Chains A and B, each alone.
Chain A
Amino acid sequence: MAVRKNPRKKKTTLFLWVSLLPAILILGGFILLFVWGFYQSLTDLRFGRARVDFEGLRNYDYLFGRSRFWDSIRATAVYAFTAVAFEAAIGLALAKLFNSGVVLARWFRPAILLPLVLPPLSVALMWTTMMNPETGVLNYFLSFVGIEGFTWTSKANSAMFAVVFIDVWTFTPFFALIVFAGLRGISPEIIEGARINGAKAWGIFWRIELPMILPYILLAALFRLIDSLNQFDIIFGTTQGGPGNATDVLSVSAYFTAFQNLYFGRGAAMMVVNWLMVLISAIFVVRLWQYARNRVS
């Protein structure tokens, strides 16, 4: 017996494919660009030179043999993980404050979102001016508590602290916003019930709120970690990777290698390594997020 095809179902399937086509094309475009970038990392492409030869893993071999490259990996990891850890802690504290019902906190809630809407390069330039050791306003304020001539971005031993500080200032509101949404999602009955059963404020936070908002914290951490591991604007706009190589994270180092020193293939290899760092970190955080979410549900 012949099976009759349902023309309506066929039409729906076609409609679905046509609807999805733009998304597939865009995704394909992204993948193609990535593949092209990876291919370039396997070549000796240099700006200003007509010939390009395929060199296999030579760029990677070159990078892995250089201590400066490993210094860049270390700087990238220190920058990203420190910034995200501070943003999580301060963002959580701010979210708790916003959720507390304190009138002043409610008023200030829109104001703290301000750094998020500023372009990172403008943020970097603004902080560079304020962090000037001799003319900056920060050292003026520090002088009131007896701290004179803090070097901020100008010396190798304080530059990493300074750029992490800027990242924390800029992106903590993002953390606070996400965690605040998580806190608002907790049913008031659960908190009330715990209170009736004699739980103290710290106990409620530690045993009820924190586990319930942990997936939110990890979600924010995931987004921030991806961004911080790729951070370019803040560092380039303040230290350009210096002094020396103190803040020479992979993205900045790759920029100098590709666009200043013209070794584009080598710069592309650095960005592939940067991508791998992001991928591994993201997989780790996603696993943590899945674990935290399963525990809550």
Chain B
Amino acid sequence: MLRILALTSLSVAIAGSTALADEFDWRKYEGAEITWAYDIHPYADAVVAHLDEFEEMTGIKVTPELYPDDTYWGKLNIQLSTGSPDWDIVGTGIQPAWDVTPAGQLAPLKGLLADPSMTNPDYDYDDFFPALTRAWTWDIAEEEIIDTADGEVWGIPHAFENMQLMYRTDILDRLGVEVPNTLPGLTEACKAIRAADPNITPMAVRGVRFWSSIHTAPISIAQSYGFSDFVTTGDGIDTALDTPESIRFHRDYVDMIQNCAPDSWANDNWYQVVDGLSTGKTAMAVDANMFGFWNNIEGASDASGKIAFAPPPTSPDNPEYASNIWIWSLAINNASENKGAAWYFIQWATSKEMNIRGATAGKLVNPSRSSAWQAQEWIDYANQPEFNNFYDTFNAVQEKTRLLFTPRYGFGTAMNAWAVAMQDMVGGADIEERLSELSEEIREELN
């Protein structure tokens, strides 16, 4: 009886929801023309592939403007800060958004999400991973980010990266090296690889003097050493980079780079890191997990089926690992004159259907909705033999994944300075002295 009741109420609920969804007026902005700006990226390909369907369903004409990564961020800054209405929807991440929201350059989305006339009842915002939606939620004051769970919503997660250790199974098997799980263990593994085959670069991580070098390995591994970028004090925040925990981490990390990374480390961005892994020049890398996934796709590279995954390494005395995230998201330019149509585009591009279609096309990885990870289509696809342990490792690491940077306006200044200091330390600068100098620089900016 209970089962019948439950089934009946479920049917009513579904029927109700479908009825509501049917009532949702997708053609409300028919005739509008909007511009969507994004990086040239597989995530953009996933949307472009079905853009005509959106245009047909809504009558809204979308012009995609896609730029190479290096160009995109500069253009985005200029478009938003000059108040240009040319771009209606922008692809962005949380860290850059911290710098533009206090001046009102992104449109708030909470009201749109709560408005049944603007948001399709099937949209299900709660279906996104909570770590992602929480990271996009904050309030603003002048030059300040107020990190609160009840705050305003500034962007919708499109797809995301979490940081993992990726390794070439063929190389480690051939050389008889175990997958390391601590930072000093990683250094020892590198020494063993170098000794066994000097032609192999044991390990690659980003080293460029930009905060993106910090957001992969350092900030993830730092957590298990007991520190992060900032620490909360009585009346604000202070840098944690000159604490004993930080000094200990940097000694181990610098030692790892010196023993593991290629000589080109200081110039290496994600392109070089991924290239090393896919060509088999490099045995291991700590970076965004989807790079390993994409290279594992059958026929994508010589590395297909040879890249496996593990959590980021930790401190030797604390096995609790952590993983940072980068969330490619869609947001509305506050200067846009077509906010309604822009929102329609966002809810379509980040819908359950688009999430799973993009993922099973091998593009939108990692999909941002938990329903995608539970969908049989995606489970079957992601568990194909060539992806090795991608699916299981994701599920394990995702539990320890969150945004590890402290939300703040002016985020880039301190983190860029950290990346420059890292280059100095790897180049031979005294670690304690350089961290002290770095911390003074950051404190000066905080005051």
Contact between B99 and A47, CB atoms less than 8 A apart: yes
Contact between A154 and B264, CB atoms less than 8 A apart: yes
In the assembled complex, the CB of A51 is this many whole angstroms from the nearest CB of chain B, namely 7
- Chain B residue at minimal CB-CB distance from A47: B81
Q: Is A238 in contact with chain B by the CB < 8 A criterion?
A: yes
- Chain A residue at minimal CB-CB distance from B101: A48
Q: Is B424 in contact with chain A by the CB < 8 A criterion?
A: yes
Contact between B420 and A48, CB atoms less than 8 A apart: no
Contact between A48 and B102, CB atoms less than 8 A apart: yes
- Please, which residues of chain B bring their CB within 8 A of the CB of A256? 416
Decide yes or no: A49 and B201 within 8 Å by CB, A134-B264, A241-B209, A261-B412 being known contacts.
no
Contact between B208 and A242, CB atoms less than 8 A apart: yes
- Chain B residue at minimal CB-CB distance from A135: B281
Per the bound structure, the CA–CA distance linking A50 and B140 in Å amounts to 13
Contact between B263 and A155, CB atoms less than 8 A apart: yes
Contact between B104 and A260, CB atoms less than 8 A apart: no
- Please, which residues of chain A bring their CB within 8 A of the CB of B264? 132-134, 154
Identify which of B99, B102, B267, B426 contacts A153 (C-beta below 8 A): B267
Contact between B99 and A154, CB atoms less than 8 A apart: no
Q: Is B373 in contact with chain A by the CB < 8 A criterion?
A: no
- Please, which residues of chain A bring their CB within 8 A of the CB of B101? 48
* Residue in A51, A239, A260 whose Cβ sees the most chain B Cβ within 10 Å: A260
In the assembled complex, the CB of A270 is this many whole angstroms from the nearest CB of chain B, namely 15
Contact between A51 and B429, CB atoms less than 8 A apart: no
Contact between A260 and B143, CB atoms less than 8 A apart: no
Contact between A49 and B103, CB atoms less than 8 A apart: yes
Per the bound structure, the CA–CA distance linking A8 and B356 in Å amounts to 80
- Chain A residue at minimal CB-CB distance from B426: A243
**Which residues of A (133-165) have their CB < 8 Å from a CB of B?**
133-135, 149, 151, 153-156
Decide yes or no: A242 and B103 within 8 Å by CB, A47-B81, A261-B416 being known contacts.
no
Contact between A262 and B263, CB atoms less than 8 A apart: no
In the assembled complex, the CB of B419 is this many whole angstroms from the nearest CB of chain A, namely 9
Contact between B412 and A50, CB atoms less than 8 A apart: no
In the assembled complex, the CB of B206 is this many whole angstroms from the nearest CB of chain A, namely 12
Decide yes or no: A242 and B263 within 8 Å by CB, A48-B409, A156-B427 being known contacts.
no
In the assembled complex, the CB of B275 is this many whole angstroms from the nearest CB of chain A, namely 9
Q: Is B74 in contact with chain A by the CB < 8 A criterion?
A: yes
Q: Mark interface residues in A230-262 (1 if CB within 8 Å of B CB, else 0).
A: 000000001111111100000000001001111
Per the bound structure, the CA–CA distance linking A214 and B285 in Å amounts to 55
Contact between A48 and B100, CB atoms less than 8 A apart: yes
- Please, which residues of chain B bring their CB within 8 A of the CB of A50? 103-104, 142
- Please, which residues of chain A bring their CB within 8 A of the CB of B416? 256, 260-261
Contact between A134 and B263, CB atoms less than 8 A apart: yes
Per the bound structure, the CA–CA distance linking A244 and B423 in Å amounts to 5
Identify which of A134, A151, A241, A262 contacts B413 (C-beta below 8 A): A262
Identify which of A46, A132, A244 contacts B420 (C-beta below 8 A): A244
Q: Is A128 in contact with chain B by the CB < 8 A criterion?
A: yes
- Please, which residues of chain A bring their CB within 8 A of the CB of B427? 155-156, 243-244
Q: Is A263 in contact with chain B by the CB < 8 A criterion?
A: yes
- Please, which residues of chain A bring their CB within 8 A of the CB of B429? 244
Contact between A260 and B262, CB atoms less than 8 A apart: no
- Please, which residues of chain A bring their CB within 8 A of the CB of B239? none
In the assembled complex, the CB of B8 is this many whole angstroms from the nearest CB of chain A, namely 53
In the assembled complex, the CB of A105 is this many whole angstroms from the nearest CB of chain B, namely 36
- Please, which residues of chain A bring their CB within 8 A of the CB of B100? 47-48
- Please, which residues of chain B bring their CB within 8 A of the CB of A51? 142
**Which residues of B (192-211) have their CB < 8 Å from a CB of A?**
201, 208-210
- Please, which residues of chain B bring their CB within 8 A of the CB of A149? 263
Decide yes or no: A47 and B208 within 8 Å by CB, A134-B264, A262-B410, A262-B412 being known contacts.
no
Q: Is B265 in contact with chain A by the CB < 8 A criterion?
A: yes
Identify which of B103, B142, B210, B412 contacts A240 (C-beta below 8 A): B210
In the assembled complex, the CB of B53 is this many whole angstroms from the nearest CB of chain A, namely 36
In the assembled complex, the CB of B257 is this many whole angstroms from the nearest CB of chain A, namely 12
Contact between A262 and B74, CB atoms less than 8 A apart: no
- Chain B residue at minimal CB-CB distance from A45: B81
Contact between A49 and B143, CB atoms less than 8 A apart: yes
Contact between B413 and A154, CB atoms less than 8 A apart: no
Contact between A243 and B266, CB atoms less than 8 A apart: yes
Q: Is B77 in contact with chain A by the CB < 8 A criterion?
A: yes
Per the bound structure, the CA–CA distance linking A273 and B77 in Å amounts to 24
Per the bound structure, the CA–CA distance linking A262 and B262 in Å amounts to 32
- Please, which residues of chain B bring their CB within 8 A of the CB of A156? 423-424, 427
Decide yes or no: A260 and B412 within 8 Å by CB, A47-B81, A242-B423, A243-B423 being known contacts.
yes
Q: Is B259 in contact with chain A by the CB < 8 A criterion?
A: no
In the assembled complex, the CB of A64 is this many whole angstroms from the nearest CB of chain B, namely 15
Contact between A154 and B103, CB atoms less than 8 A apart: no
Per the bound structure, the CA–CA distance linking A261 and B445 in Å amounts to 11
Contact between B201 and A240, CB atoms less than 8 A apart: no
Contact between A238 and B209, CB atoms less than 8 A apart: no
Per the bound structure, the CA–CA distance linking A170 and B280 in Å amounts to 34
- Please, which residues of chain A bring their CB within 8 A of the CB of B262? 133-134
Q: Is B220 in contact with chain A by the CB < 8 A criterion?
A: no
- Please, which residues of chain B bring their CB within 8 A of the CB of A155? 263, 266, 427
Sample 17 A-B pairs with CB under 8 A, ordered by A number.
A47-B99, A48-B102, A48-B409, A50-B104, A50-B142, A51-B142, A132-B264, A149-B263, A153-B267, A238-B267, A240-B267, A242-B423, A243-B266, A244-B423, A244-B429, A262-B410, A263-B413
Residues of A within 8 A of B (CB): 46-51, 128, 132-135, 149, 151, 153-156, 238-245, 256, 259-263
Given contacts A49-B143, A134-B281, 9 further A-B contacts (CB under 8 A): A46-B143, A47-B81, A50-B103, A135-B281, A239-B267, A240-B210, A244-B421, A256-B416, A261-B412
Residues of B within 8 A of A (CB): 74, 77, 81, 99-105, 142-143, 201, 208-210, 262-267, 281, 409-410, 412-413, 416, 420-421, 423-424, 426-427, 429
Q: Which 10 A-B pairs have the closest CB atoms?
A: A133-B263, A243-B266, A244-B424, A261-B413, A242-B209, A48-B99, A243-B423, A47-B81, A50-B103, A244-B423
